[in-house]
Chain A
Amino acid sequence: MLETILFYLFAATSVTTALLVISRVNPLMSALWLVVCLASSAGLFALLSAPFLAIIQILVYAGAVMVLFLFVIMLIDISKEALKPRVVRFAKVVAVSITGYFTVIVCIVLWRPSFLPAPLADAAYGDVKVLGKMLLTDYAVPFELASLLLLAAMIGAVVMGKKKL
């Protein structure tokens, strides 16, 4: 019972804050609402018995990534002009087509729920210890390769961004 209540609480919060993210005029407010949105989806992960994912979501996304966002927003000087509400051309056409698309998707899902039901997770599922073991045994090669990926991205960013190489 408690789980159901928590699920609706987190789900409602994340949907509401997601709407707030895209409707705020001030990007700073959008970013702050995004923090709340990410934190509440972390709650959803925790309910799905994935504690590691929930912690990472808060640490990395709500923490590190959002701080970076806020820094960038504060660093670039946003004028009052830029903060005026934007008017999208053909807004109605876009709105109607997006709504139509959404309706079709919902219909398909309700009509034919052909995805397999999620298998019951065993007790160790999402456990940090199990995950760590897997990352350094079965998945060691892709794990290391992912670190190379980050290194390549970092060198690339320096090459593109540094004033005097």
Chain B
Amino acid sequence: MNWFQFLGLTLPWLIVLGASLTVLFLGTLMKRGAHAVSMAISLLSLVAALFLSWQHWVADVTVSMGMMSFGRMTFLGWMVIAIASIFTVLLSHDYLARRKLGHPEYYSLILLSTVGMASLIAGSHLMLIFLGIEVMSIAVYALAGFLRHRLSGNEAALKYFLTGAFASAFLLLGIAFIFGTTKTMDLTVLAEQLPTVLSGDMASWFLFGVAMVLIGFAFKIAAVPFHAWAPDAYDGAPTPITQFMATAVKAAAFFALLRVASPLVVAVGPGWAKTLWLLSAATMIIGNLAALMQDNLKRMLAYSSIAHAGYALVAFPTLSTQTPELVHGVIFYLIAYTFMTAGSFAIVAFAQGQGESADVSHVAGLAKRHPWMAASFTIFLLSLTGFPPTLGFFGKYFLFSGAIKNGSIGLVVLALLSSAVSAYYYLRPIVVMYFHESREGVLERTSPATSLVAVVTIAFLAILYFGIFPSDLLAIVQRSGM
């Protein structure tokens, strides 16, 4: 193994790791100004990681080493999580400063979590995938409870930690069974051995292992019936962290699931396709129905993120190595989802102001005081619903047309019906923003922080630009191969 090449390829995340440790030391060295400096270092390292990943993508290196497989798909995944983490860091500064919670440990944990995600996305070995998931999750457990004075913050951290540990146990047990029956944890070797294993007498134990791995992943992407932790954890966590959980964590888990699913889950046979079918259908229907009843914007977006995981799962029952259009559909969707969700959470963080409540009444009158913020929120919500000409529409279009081409018509019909239902709860905040008078003192007259405006602007421009010219983004995704 060529270590220099390996270090060169993983350089984006080595930088982030270095920044994470630097930020940690800053906390002990600096007393004043540590917050601004640690935010700046985190931001710079993530931008560097984004840039270097993009350079790797352009250079188009395809190589497997050190239990990781590098390729354009890996680098694309890295870019997605880098962008999502940049949004989180930008949102965090103002949010923490208002609450006097600007501790360097916060940024250090975010950066460590992204390093875990990077190895989760690149990992081609079940051991590395497991370790990546754990590094990612453990950092986020602590971040979810960062508002320590808040009771629901503690509840969020504890619930997230306990269910997450439970999910990890399932995942690990599944990996152990797969290893026990095939004597390998390498996904490429596993894919080659699959026919022999499935016809041998160890098949049932192997399938048991695959089922356990699937359950572990379903917990991480909050698919029904393993979703119960999500609304409480999303509600209790600081809003930037909620955004992090909804975008970066989910995207990383989906990238890994794509890598694991195409050799493992789908090649196993029609029984598993049916399981994934049910998982997808239940996730969209229950996510959308539960979101209808939420008055709290964070909980509403939590259920909406469950529903969107269900849409992305539409591609999985027919996924295989011969269906690149499905893989591209899922990834295009994940990118679209990252932009619109990050934007929405930015507005929610702004509407919250100093308080912690995220009730929908907080956005009342936003249209009068901050017309641009209201307009952007409208675009984000329309995009989440799937109206043209926004990015969300094309995300759904590419995903569902790929699924129809591969024969999951029933599932697509269900997805369309449930996204029609979703219009109700996505349009409600728009109505509140434009037609409800704001209650006194609910919305401050302060202008939004520059970093928050930056997040909203980037997300807004990305959604409109790629909504009008979706082929640009699609070309990037398609040229990433499998």
Q: Give the interface of A toward B (CB within 8 A).
A: 114-116, 137, 139-142, 145-146, 148-149, 151-153, 155-160, 165
Which residue from B138, B145, B202, B205 sits with its C-beta under 8 Å from A152? B138
| One of A116, A142, A152, A159 near B127 (C-beta < 8 A) | A142
Q: Does B60 make an interface contact (CB < 8 A)? A: no
Q: B135–A145 contact, CB under 8 A?
A: yes
| Tier of interface size on chain B | 35 or more
Residues of A within 8 A of B116 (CB): 145, 148-149, 152
Query: Given contacts A159-B103, A159-B106, A159-B146, could you give 9 more A-B pairs where the C-beta distance is less than 8 Å?
Result: A114-B205, A141-B119, A142-B125, A149-B138, A155-B109, A159-B109, A159-B145, A160-B142, A160-B148
Are the CB atoms of A152 and B67 closer together than 8 Å?
no
CA separation between A139 and B127, bound complex, in Å? 10
Check: B105 CB closer than 8 A to any chain A CB: yes
Complex Cα gap A157–B161 (Å): 12
Name A's interface SS. Answer: helix
B residues less than 8 Å from A160 (CB atoms)? 142, 145, 148, 157
- Cβ of B440 within 8 Å of any chain A Cβ, yes or no, is no
Q: What's the least CB distance linking B26 to chain A, in Å?
A: 13
Of the candidates B1, B113, B131, the one whose C-beta lies within 8 Å of that of A145 is B131
Binding site for A on B (CB under 8 A): 1, 17, 24, 66-68, 103, 105-106, 108-109, 112-113, 115-116, 119, 125, 127-128, 131-132, 134-135, 138-139, 141-142, 145-146, 148, 157, 180, 201-202, 205
Residue in contact with B109 in the complex, picked from A145, A146, A149, A152, CB distance below 8 Å: A152
Contacts of B105 in A (CB 8 A): 155, 158-159, 165
Count CB-based A-B contacts (< 8 Å). 73
Contact B142 A155 (CB under 8 A): yes
Residue pair A145, B119 in contact (C-beta under 8 Å) = yes
Assuming the contacts A145-B119, A148-B116, A165-B105, asked whether A156 and B205 have C-beta atoms less than 8 A apart, the reply is no
Whole-angstrom distance from the CB of B186 to the nearest CB of chain A? 11
Q: List 8 A-B contacts (CB under 8 A).
A: A114-B201, A139-B127, A141-B68, A142-B128, A156-B138, A156-B139, A159-B142, A160-B142
Contact yes or no, B112 A145, CB < 8 A: no
Bound Cα distance from A146 to B201, whole angstroms: 34
> Are B115 and A141 in touch, CB under 8 angstroms?
no
Interface centre among A114, A146, A159 (most CB of B within 10 A): A159
Closest to B202 in A: A114
> For A155, what are the chain B residues with a Cβ–Cβ distance below 8 Å?
24, 105, 108-109, 112, 139, 142
Q: Are A149 and B142 interface neighbours, CB within 8 A?
A: no
Tell me, in angstroms, the Cα distance from A12 to B138 when the chains sit together.
38
Question: In the complex, A153→B105 CA distance in Å?
Answer: 12
* Alpha-carbon gap, A101 to B24, bound state (A): 49
Bound form: Cα–Cα A142–B133 in Å: 12
**Contact between chains at B132 and A145 (CB < 8 Å):** yes
A61, B115: Cα distance in complex, Å = 29
Distance (whole angstroms) from the CB of A161 to the closest CB of chain B? 10
Closest chain B residue, CB of each to CB of A143: B131
Q: Is A148's CB under 8 angstroms from B142's CB?
A: no
Which B-chain residue is minimally distant from A151 (CB atoms)?
B112
Contact B134 A149 (CB under 8 A): yes
Task: List the A residue with the shortest CB-CB distance to B17.
Answer: A148
